[in-house]
Amino acid sequence: MLRLWNTLSREKEPLPDRKELRLFVCGPTVNDYAHIGHARTYIFFDFLARYLRARGRDVFYLQNITNIDDKIIRRAAEEGKKAADVADFFMEAYLADMAALGIGMSADGKEKAEKIIYAPATKFIPQIAAQVERLAQKGFAYRIEGDGWYFDIAKFAGYGKLSGRTALQAEDSVSRIDESVGKRNKGDFCLWKFSKPGEPEWPAPQIGAGRPGWHIEDTAISEFYFGPQYEIHGGGVDLKFPHHEAEIAQQESASGKAPFVRIWMHTGALLVDGRKMSKSLGNFVTIRGFLEKYGANVLRWIALTHHYRSPIDYTEESAAQAAHTLDGIANFLAKLEFLAEGTRAGTPEPLKPLEEAEEKLEDDLNVPQALAGALAFASELQPALWNIPREEAAAALSQFRRFFGMFGFDFAPPPEIPENARKLAAERDEFRGNKQFDKADALRRKINGLGFDIEDTPKGPFLWPQPKNHN
Ligand code: AMP
């Protein structure tokens, strides 16, 4: 039975017994291009949705996009642009990056089978304003003239239950908490900001024109689609406090219902060369920069071969290593395809080692162990690979493809071998048959020159593109 670590209960728990699982994941703030840290988090939740769907659940995957925020306003001011234009530009870029990573796509990238609903904050202003108004009516929110509406954390007894901080400890923290001289408690956070001159604002008759604070969009959007309670909330560990704590306070106060969310899931941070990514350190790797060099599978491999709750220390070396491993898998699949000679697998018997590898997922999604199990099984098959009968090769191929597809890896069919390379390989085979090895070797070099390696097998020559140098 699948059990997931719940940050809230600090235990592994079974999934709620419900066919439809509602999953909300915090989306990005679109003030810049998305980086590989974002990719780590979103590849993982893409896998989670795929896996739950493969196990027969209907997953309603919802993600907000913070398209109005101080950071966006600041960037727009620096560049002399409108905040909305900056946000629109980077939101489009984000969606394109997600598509390039195969996120929300079927394994072959053709269909949006793993659909995600993206909800930009500015499309939900009436819902946001209404939630702030409700919090004010119930006495949880107060107004500071000229500044905005704030949540009074002293009014919500459960404040701190997710992160393990008390309201008093929250007093120490100023991390991403808006400051205002008029706040009742230091940890109070802003729900709605009255805009300064030149800043974007939206009309809101009951609470006064302004713009949303950072935390309120998530609960207004999730309440709109899911209602006041749902099954799974995800995000990076950096959001546990204060962001997710604020979400709980907002939604449980607004609805009077608890728990707001059954299972809270947090991904570990991705670091680059042991440090937090930042422009000033020069170690900021965007998704598109990464994809210029490596394929989407490489980033997916890096993300998924670390347990989702562990940090990842990214280095160029780890990308080259991942690319090498993936080349090996593609080569293995191509050999099975070569051996299958076009035979289609019927409904093959499950392969025990792959089943055992898949079982590792039951324990809080141990993807690294599941993938390691599949690789170990592939290695075991290697020595006697060329003796596998055609039907067995076809069955193994379909099962390995299904297995890797479950994680969202896309192993394209083996490349077409060009006619000239195939002809040379056939001629070389004849020379070998006649023991004319010098001539055979000369043809091997020619084939290499065309960019292919050649392996002699009992089933004839197997050609494979020479590995790219990933350094
Ligand atoms: P942001 O755009 O910073 O609001 O982040 C959007 C999502 O990406 C959140 O769930 C973050 O926790 C996650 N995220 C941002 N940076 C990283 C990182 N370096 N490693 C892992 N997740 C990250």
- pLDDT tens per residue, range 133-152: 999 999 999 999 999 999 99
Residues 47 and 121 in one domain: yes
Residues 189 and 60 in one domain: no
Closest Cα to atom 2 of ligand 1: 28
Structure confidence by residue, pLDDT tens digits, 61-79: 999 999 999 999 999 999 9
The last residue of one of the domains, among 197, 212, 227, is 212
Residues 373 and 453 in one domain: no
**Structural domains of the chain, count:** 4
Decide if pLDDT at 470 tops 70: no
Mean pLDDT score across all residues of the chain: 93
Q: How confident is the model at residue 111 (pLDDT cuts 50, 70, 90)?
A: low
By percentage, how much of the chain surpasses pLDDT 90?
87
Closest atom of ligand 1 to 238 CA is 12
Closest atom of ligand 1 to 30 CA is 2
Ligand 1 center to 436 CA (angstroms): 61
- When pLDDT is averaged across residues 339-358 and rounded to a whole number, the result is 89
Mutate to test the pocket of ligand 1, among 23, 25, 238 (most ligand atoms within 8 A of CB): 238
Whether 311 maps to a domain, the answer reads no
Whether 252 maps to a domain, the answer reads yes
The last residue of one of the domains, among 161, 186, 212, is 212
Ligand 1 center to 37 CA (angstroms): 6
Residues 386 and 433 in one domain: no
Mutate to test the pocket of ligand 1, among 7, 38, 290 (most ligand atoms within 8 A of CB): 38
Decide if pLDDT at 181 tops 90: no
Q: How confident is the model at residue 104 (pLDDT cuts 50, 70, 90)?
A: confident
Ligand 1 center to 39 CA (angstroms): 8
Residues 138 and 168 in one domain: yes
Whether 307 maps to a domain, the answer reads no
pLDDT value of residue 167: 58
Domain that holds residue 397: 316-406
Structure confidence by residue, pLDDT tens digits, 414-468: 888 999 999 999 999 999 999 999 999 999 999 999 999 999 999 999 999 987 7
Structure confidence by residue, pLDDT tens digits, 278-314: 877 888 999 999 999 999 999 999 999 999 999 999 9
Ligand 1 center to 375 CA (angstroms): 30
Residues 393 and 265 in one domain: no
Residues 95 and 229 in one domain: yes
Q: How far is CA 138 from CA 64, 141, 227, 254, 461, in A?
A: 26, 8, 18, 8, 76
Ligand 1 center to 83 CA (angstroms): 21
Residues framing ligand 1 (Cβ under 6 A): 26, 28-29, 37-38, 40-41, 235-236, 238-239, 267, 269-270, 277
Residues 218 and 231 in one domain: yes
Residues 324 and 457 in one domain: no
Token representation of residue 101: 């990573």
pLDDT value of residue 108: 53
Whether 297 maps to a domain, the answer reads no
Closest atom of ligand 1 to 312 CA is 20
Decide if pLDDT at 176 tops 60: no
Decide if pLDDT at 171 tops 70: no
Compute and round to an integer the Cα radius of gyration of the chain. 27
Residues 206 and 229 in one domain: no
Structure confidence by residue, pLDDT tens digits, 432-446: 999 999 999 999 999
pLDDT value of residue 190: 96
